[in-house]
Amino acid sequence: MSELPPVNAPYFEFGQFQRTPKSLPENALIYNYPWDELPPFGESDQTISLLGYGSLMNRSSAAQVLCSETMSTARSVIAWGARRVYNTISLNRMAYAEYCHPVDSDYGVLNAMTADGHWFNAVEYQVRQEDIEFLRTREKAYDLIPVWISDCNTPAETNRWAYFFSRRQSFWNDTQILYDAVVPLEKYHQICETGCREIAEDFLEMFRQSTWLNNGNQSLSISEEMIRLDLQTATVARRVI
């Protein structure tokens, strides 16, 4: 991953930047999975801006699906008007086979959804045509949703937008994918945190501040002990978001 802009943690005390972003431009369209309506890229150097907010923040994980040219475009950013939450499961055991134990459907991975007054940190990539098929296999049932973003070191400058992955339907191909009771997959969560820590300790703290349990009321930064117990006992009360 290329050198990312520095992270100024004091800007991101929880709740500091809760606000409603301005309207997105007309060309910021939503693409439902499998993104068949995504226009051809045309020129070989044409890209779309895409956010990794979970395991794609981890360099080793991202390199499994993104080409070296795409990896070199990585930037640390904040997405405005969206929330990251543990409320879905993996649909592709093979996607995690290289770096996780087999995925149990009772354990959760990250999702994100539009939500006024919320934000999350992420890694922005300029994705190329050759990356799309790999992402389509890995990110099953995730729609592409546009969102305003800014660089981590200039949070007030919200002057561009990017796509993030979002599961918005409770079922996909007769399989339930959104849950009101899901425990984070421990190895997956460690991969996310390792990726953040490799960028900066402050970036990791931002991840914890802006990652929600799907009771909707607790972020990881205020419930680390609860998360630890959840991972050990696999029991936790949740409600549907």
Q: CATH number for the domain including 80?
A: 3.10.490.10
Give buried/exposed letters for 181-205 (b at 16+ CB in 10 A, else e). ebbbbbebbbbbbbbbeebbebbbb
pLDDT, tens digit, 9 for 90 and up, residues 42-78 = 666 789 999 999 999 999 999 999 999 999 999 999 9
For residue 9, list its beta bridge partners.
Answer: none
Q: Can you tell me the mean pLDDT for 83-101?
A: 68
- What is the span of the domain harbouring residue 108? 9-233
Q: Is residue 151 part of a domain?
A: yes
pLDDT, tens digit, 9 for 90 and up, residues 156-172 = 777 799 999 999 999 99
Q: Is residue 113 part of a domain?
A: yes
Q: Are 83 and 115 in contact (CB under 8 A)?
A: yes
- Percent of the chain topping pLDDT 90: 55
pLDDT, tens digit, 9 for 90 and up, residues 44-53 = 678 999 999 9
Cis previous bond, 21, omega within 30: no
The angle that helices 186-199 and 201-209 make with each other, rounded to 10 degrees, is 130
At residue 22, what are phi and psi to the nearest 5 degrees? -70, 170
This prediction has a pTM of 0.81
Report how many domains make up the chain.
Answer: 1
| C-alpha distances out from residue 209 to 170, 204, 220, 224, Å | 26, 9, 6, 11
| C-alpha distances out from residue 58 to 99, 123, 133, 194, Å | 11, 9, 20, 7
Q: Is residue 110 part of a domain?
A: yes
Helices (H), 125-172: 129-138
Q: Is residue 241 part of a domain?
A: no
